[in-house]
């Protein structure tokens, strides 16, 4: 017999899944159009110079503003969740986000890599916890267990000044870096033998939302640090720039079959060794041999070094990254004290189901269960 508390908990998971995860076409379920690729090996966008045509506002565009401080994402009232998403996908690479997280109880700043088949790699910052950052990952939307998230304690505030948050993503491992120092590494084999390892082309999503909104499930509000008081706002996250190295440049990426395995991805078009830089004024491409995205001269006084990583030759084989440790529920590569495990409910759909079908399945389970209450 299922208790009312258990039913409420399942409803909480269901609501959060629909709020945070989506895909327009899941290639593990049907044939989908190719994903537009980043054809240059390196790419930089400086939001202190304005908006970029390489990014779309996918939610609350009126809450996104640009100034010398960068892209400002602001939550003022119930329903605000300003978000932008890259128009291009990358296929393994290094992604550095230079940003300042938002303060505020229940406010969640985020930088997310997301694929069409719901592979996901996350950074998240809880507004009421200024000296820590959360990391997480998902494979094919599978959340059968909730031990993937880890909270990383930091020695200084994520809200006072802009800091460098980098993800180095290869077929062998994912490493999260803060200001050039590795804080967590996930090996392919440690993600359920690779089944839950994020490995398909992804876009980059940047945004902010109120996990503490009173309409959110109880579990989400608790995870976000409490109920959000909009009267204490507005709450703003600032992103100064994004620097990317795409280890497998191409004009587009196509899924061959429905396995969702990285070896099934076809890289379309010729790879480019150029470096692309985007701002509100222009987009230019110049030749470069650097394996790291170029830093703005305005960042020279900050500790924003990007870690050196392995770069592929443009094919999906031979890509590797530096890894000093692996990640599992019992190990951690965090410097200093070990991070706590965080239950972050973002994707509640079982592997074999789309979010919509999973939602209907959950509702059926709940209705059946409630007949025993």
The DSSP code sequence of 38-52 is --SSEEEEEGGG---
pLDDT of residue 21: 62
Dihedral sign (CA 99, 104, 105, 108) = negative
Instruction: Output 215 or 287, whichever has higher pLDDT.
Output: 215
Tokens standing for residue 369: 């269960």
Distance CA 135, CA 255 (A): 27
Residues with Cβ within 8 Å of 306's Cβ and at least 6 positions away in sequence, in order, are 94, 96, 164, 166, 177, 180, 243, 292, 293, 295
> Which residue is it, tokens 């410097």?
335
pLDDT of residue 142: 84
pLDDT of residue 332: 31
Predicted TM-score (pTM) of this structure = 0.72
Question: pLDDT > 70: what percent of the chain?
Answer: 66
pLDDT digits (tens, 9 = 90+) for 38-95: 999 999 999 999 999 999 999 999 999 999 999 999 999 999 999 999 999 999 999 9
pLDDT of residue 144: 78
The overall longest dimension of the chain from CA atoms, in Å, is 67
Tokens standing for residue 76: 């003022």
pLDDT higher than threshold 90 for residue 19: no
Residues with Cβ within 8 Å of 179's Cβ and at least 6 positions away in sequence, in order, are 163, 164, 303, 304, 305
pLDDT of residue 225: 97
pLDDT of residue 146: 75
Q: Are 342 and 149 in contact (CB under 8 A)?
A: yes
pLDDT averaged over the chain?
Answer: 76
Average pLDDT over residues 316-332: 33
> Which residue is it, tokens 């099934």?
264
Per-residue CA distances from 221 to 11, 14, 118, 210, 331 (Å): 14, 14, 24, 9, 28
pLDDT of residue 23: 84
- The residues annotated as belonging to the active site are 120, 124
Distance CA 306, CA 320 (A): 16
End-to-end CA distance of the chain: 7
Per-residue CA distances from 115 to 85, 118, 203 (Å): 12, 5, 6
pLDDT digits (tens, 9 = 90+) for 230-274: 999 999 999 999 999 999 999 999 999 999 999 999 999 855 556
pLDDT of residue 274: 62
**Measured torsion, CA atoms of residues 260, 261, 262, 265, in degrees rounded to the nearest 10:** -60
Average pLDDT over residues 199-215: 97
Note if the bond before 288 is cis, omega within 30 degrees: no
Dihedral sign (CA 194, 195, 196, 200) = positive
Residues with Cβ within 8 Å of 364's Cβ and at least 6 positions away in sequence, in order, are none
pLDDT higher than threshold 70 for residue 187: yes
pLDDT digits (tens, 9 = 90+) for 167-179: 999 999 999 999 9
Phi, psi of 318 (to 5 degrees): 80, 10
Task: Tell me how long the chain is.
Answer: 373
pLDDT of residue 284: 29
Q: Which domains does the chain have, with CATH numbers?
A: 1-21+348-373 (no CATH), 25-346 (2.60.120.200)
Tokens standing for residue 137: 């990952």
Instruction: Output 253 or 293, whichever has higher pLDDT.
Output: 253
Banded model confidence at residue 147, pLDDT cuts 50, 70, 90? confident
Distance CA 96, CA 293 (A): 8
Tokens standing for residue 286: 């110049």
């Amino acid at each position: 017999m299922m208790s009312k508390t258990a039913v409420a908990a399942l409803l909480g998971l269901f609501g959060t899944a629909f709020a945070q995860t989506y895909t327009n076409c899941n290639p593990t379920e049907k044939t989908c159009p190719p994903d537009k690729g980043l054809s240059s090996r390196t790419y930089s966008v400086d939001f202190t110079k304005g908006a970029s045509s390489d990014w779309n506002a996918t939610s609350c565009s009126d809450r996104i503003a640009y100034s010398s401080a960068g892209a400002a994402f602001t939550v003022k009232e119930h329903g605000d969740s300003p978000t932008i998403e890259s128009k291009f996908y990358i296929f393994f690479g290094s992604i550095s986000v230079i940003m300042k997280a938002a303060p505020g109880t229940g406010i969640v700043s985020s930088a997310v890599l997301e694929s069409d088949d719901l592979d996901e790699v996350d950074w998240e910052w809880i507004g009421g916890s200024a000296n820590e950052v959360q990391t997480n990952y998902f494979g094919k939307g599978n959340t059968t267990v909730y031990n993937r998230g880890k909270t990383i304690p930091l020695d200084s505030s994520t809200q006072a000044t802009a800091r460098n948050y980098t993800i180095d993503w290869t077929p062998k491992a994912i490493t999260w870096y803060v200001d050039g120092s590795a804080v967590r590494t996930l090996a392919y084999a440690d993600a359920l033998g690779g089944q839950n390892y994020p490995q398909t082309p992804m876009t980059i999503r940047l945004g902010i939302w109120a996990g503490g909104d009173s309409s959110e499930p109880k579990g989400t509000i608790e995870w976000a640090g409490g109920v959000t008081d909009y009267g204490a706002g507005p709450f703003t996250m600032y992103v100064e720039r994004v620097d990317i190295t795409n280890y497998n440049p191409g004009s587009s990426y196509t899924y061959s079959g429905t396995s969702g395995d990285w070896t099934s991805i076809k890289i379309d078009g010729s790879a480019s060794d150029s470096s692309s830089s985007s701002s509100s004024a222009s987009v230019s491409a110049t030749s470069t041999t650097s394996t790291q995205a170029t830093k703005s001269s305005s960042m020279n006084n900050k500790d924003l070094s990007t870690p050196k990583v392995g770069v592929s030759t443009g094919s999906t084989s031979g890509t590797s990254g530096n890894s000093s440790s692996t990640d599992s529920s019992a190990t951690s590569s965090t410097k200093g004290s070990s991070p706590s495990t965080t239950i972050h409910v973002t994707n509640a759909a079982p592997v074999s189901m789309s979010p919509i079908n999973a939602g209907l399945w959950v509702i059926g389970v709940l209705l059946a269960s409630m007949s025993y209450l």
